Chain A
């Protein structure tokens, strides 16, 4: 008997069920197909402007910084400003996301690199798939547009969020993923990111930048 067979046999013996039990199978199939949502906190709900305000409040609570700009075209200048204000090198890497590519980077003095990171980049920018108001969380998906390595390897991570993508709760993100990729299908990685990397393992002292980015600067495009 293979390990799989024996484990299944033991499960069924413990639960006192047979392998064919139709009602059980139907119950499972139904739950998987419906994928109903449970309790969704009040905190994330509300109209768009309220959601953005909640998102900002929650994100700042976890040591991310948030800037709001009027148009996508304003993003490069905001990032350049942040880097300059914080005495960080004027370099930046991003992937193939067209929304980022079409921004006016040449108008800044930033040295741009493209593609996934190999670990030598100080700064990177990604465009979020969605942002979740209830906890100030960003949702990013893997792929050539926004390589996953850009979320973790650089010291400083910038994330562009378009206002229409700020949703109230995680369930809304899952619905958007379903709509984008199909039912039961996900890209290789979906990162839910809430604030910069941290550790409290040294005498419970909160320190930022454990392995992932030390700084997380979110630029919300309102227009």
Chain B
């Protein structure tokens, strides 16, 4: 794995996040997506039916992924492009470095690519003396800060306006100290000017892909800023880095999924720029790259097919799940400790870095179900998180105390007579102790609860014992 995970420190990350005043001030922005998505959905009566259509398309594609990959690579070659396969991060990096070195590249501009985060591409490029320039405004901001994205759509959602001004002043050498940057539009103008020069000077432009279309050998990116387009149009070489499950059969299939993508992500009907790129420039084209490369990354996807987590491969990276998640709202994306946060990250992270490293994430959920309710691809996220918990239980990765307590509870739950004998005195005892205050400020083993909350005392005799007494007879 290229990018180190702090997921094992999840509880510490949570603590830090909850005490980070600036982060807590910025996090409410993630909630804005909720009403926007709801409005967009309300405006499109066909939305729910489109979710079913999108799901069916992805399921069909995944069930025939080998054949669609074959069809896709044929079309890319016909259009004059090159397809490369990478089993893992190291291979993907090697391919990309090879392309850069073949062109003596010094500057690589980048459109937003979560896969590039997954493989740790920027660090690899930098270590070879190649400048990797993030051009998506949010990605640019966090690159200046040396941070990872905290949301898959809005990577700098945790950063304040003040932070951004401070970062620009620190890094932009030609920025006059007396220049007014107090308003967001001024910051935007500054970023636009700086990045415009970088776009024009780039040797290689690297983008991700929201879709890879088998029908035409096309890669599709979906952006709002236009940075992806400047990244892939201006330099001599365009490299597309995408994981294999991005395959979609036809353009008409893409249309089905496009209609639920932006609406689920930001509440827009369509993002500003949906761009279809097919091969390098043609004879007669006055602009466009001279070379077009697609690097197809596996990194565990092929092994996931046909298995208990294969539904996760339908994910189109819209971010709706994290936008609606109470855990994400409380602590933000960095607390999750790796590349993918929120509910989709809770399922994907153990798949990609192993359940021993990533196990906290599927456990840190109340199964409230909001994620599943809004997922455009109808991925049963809570069920998949539960499946991870089953894996952990089987492998005895559940913390020993928790496991013991659960087994003890199950022991009694399977034996009603013993259960009765055990709980009756316990509840009466607790009721007696708690009678005066009605609640406990502390309970043994209950620290997780009682640090911040009181625990209500029981009423005393159980319902079943009172019911038996009331009815007189043995039921």
A: which residues have CB within 8 A of B? 2-4, 6-8, 10-12, 14-17, 19, 24-25, 27-28, 31-32, 35-39, 41-43, 58, 62, 95, 115-116, 118-119, 134-135, 137, 142-144, 147-149, 151-153, 169-171, 174, 177, 184-205, 207, 209-213
Question: Closest approach, in angstroms, between the C-beta of B41 and any C-beta of chain A?
Answer: 12
Residue B160 CB within 8 A of the other chain: yes
Q: Using Cβ atoms and an 8 Å threshold, which residues of chain A touch B473?
A: none
Q: Which stretch of B272-280, B326-334, B335-343, B361-369 is in the interface?
A: B272-280
Set of chain B residues within 8 Å of A134, measured between Cβ atoms: 269
Q: Which 4 residue pairs spanning A and B have beta carbons closest together?
A: A212-B226, A210-B225, A201-B138, A14-B305
Q: Nearest chain-B residue to A197 (Cβ)?
A: B226
Minimum distance in angstroms from A24 CB to a CB of chain B = 6
Complex Cα spacing A24 to B332, Å: 43
When the two chains form their complex, are residues B225 and A197 in contact, meaning their CB atoms are under 8 A apart?
Answer: yes
Given A38-B253, A186-B218, verify A198-B302 contact (CB < 8 Å). Answer: no
- A32-B215, A203-B184 known; A41-B302 Cβ under 8 A: no
Point out residues on B near A: beta carbons under 8 Å.
Answer: 26, 29, 32, 44-46, 49-50, 53, 57, 60, 63-69, 71, 75, 79, 85-87, 91, 135-138, 141, 154-157, 160-161, 164, 184-185, 187-188, 191-192, 195-196, 199-200, 214-218, 224-227, 229-230, 233-234, 244, 249-253, 255-256, 258-259, 266, 268-282, 284-288, 296, 298, 302-307
Which B residues are in CB contact (< 8 Å) with A195?
A: 272
**A38: which of B26, B29, B252, B273 is its contact (CB, 8 Å)?**
B252
What residues on A are CB-neighbors of B185 within 8 Å? 207
Complex formed: what's the CA distance from A189 to B273 in Å?
Answer: 12
A-B contacts, 9 of them at CB < 8 A, read A14-B304, A35-B252, A38-B255, A43-B44, A188-B281, A188-B288, A192-B273, A199-B225, A211-B196
CB <8 Å contact, A207 and B184: yes
With a cutoff of 8 Å between Cβ atoms, the chain B residues found around residue A213 in the complex are: 226
Which of A169, A198, A203 has the most chain B CB within a 10 Å cutoff? A203
Q: A19-B66, A42-B45, A204-B29 are in contact. List 7 more A-B contacts (CB 8 A).
A: A8-B69, A32-B249, A35-B251, A41-B44, A189-B277, A194-B272, A210-B192
Q: How far is the CB of B433 from chain A (nearest CB, A)?
A: 50
Partner of A186, one of B137, B154, B244, B276: B276
Q: B68, A28: Cβ atoms under 8 Å?
A: yes
Name the distance in Å between B223's Cβ and chain A's nearest Cβ. 9
CB-based contact A14/B306 at 8 Å: yes
**A205–B155 alpha-carbon span in the complex (Å):** 14
The smallest C-beta distance from B314 to any residue of chain A, in angstroms, reads 15
A209 & B188 in contact (Cβ 8 Å cutoff) = yes
B256 & A38 in contact (Cβ 8 Å cutoff): yes
Cβ of A12: which chain B residues have Cβ within 8 Å of it?
A: 66
Nearest CB in chain B: distance from A189 CB, A: 6
Contact A187 B195 (CB under 8 A): no
Residues of B within 8 A of A37 (CB): 252, 255
CA A189 to CA B287, docked complex, whole Å? 10
Tell me the bound Cα distance from A6 to B302 in angstroms. Answer: 10
Q: In the complex, are the beta carbons of B302 and A144 less than 8 A apart?
A: no
Q: How far is the CB of A178 from chain B (nearest CB, A)?
A: 9
Shortest Cβ distance from A126 into chain B, in angstroms?
13
Q: Is the CB of B29 within 8 A of A203?
A: yes
In the complex, residue of chain A having the shortest beta-carbon distance to the beta carbon of B258: A170
Complex Cα distance, B278 from A187, in Å, reads 7
Q: A15 and B46 in contact (CB under 8 A), knowing A116-B286, A203-B184?
A: no
Q: How far is the CA of A119 from the CA of B224 in the complex (A)?
A: 19
B64 touching A152, Cβ below 8 Å: no
